[in-house]
Amino acid sequence: MKQSEQHDFLIESLNLEFKTIKAMVVIYCRDKHQSASLCDECEDFLAYAHTRLDRCPYGGSKPTCKLCPIHCYKADYKARSKEIMRYAGPKMLFRHPYLAIRHLMAGKKEVEPKPPANASNRHMRVAINKINS
């Protein structure tokens, strides 16, 4: 497996969350940065969001970021995230109703106060690579 392919691998529920974030960044960048494809700044934000999802200690039982007790984003990314969500969040229901509704439903799930041990996507990825090597 190539390095880039390993980077892309996220389990289904996390991948769905990544798709949701990406859809919001695309809306935001097109309207605010007048960029047909993502500008460097938004590309960088998306790569950061991907890494955070990969390393989220909750893994597949990850709560929505709003409800999460951990708050893993660095301050500047957190500020950008807020701005993007505030702008694009309300537009999601019309442009990506499936993703928006999935996200709303995820927000109703019970949050475990502590993540289980070794549950992160990255931990799983490393374990699978060990088996395959």
Q: Which residues in this chain contact Zn ion in the complex, by CB under 5 A?
A: 29, 33, 39, 42
Shortest separation between residue 47's beta carbon and Zn ion, angstroms: 13
Of the pair 55, 78, the CB lying nearest Zn ion is at 78
Of the pair 9, 73, the CB lying nearest Zn ion is at 73
- The CA-atom distances, in angstroms, between 41 and each of 30, 45, 80, 111, 113 are 12, 6, 10, 32, 33
Shortest separation between residue 9's beta carbon and Zn ion, angstroms: 25
Residue type, 49: A
Of the pair 29, 100, the CB lying nearest Zn ion is at 29
Burial degree of 96 (CB within 10 A; 0-12, 13-18, 19+): buried
Shortest separation between residue 84's beta carbon and Zn ion, angstroms: 9
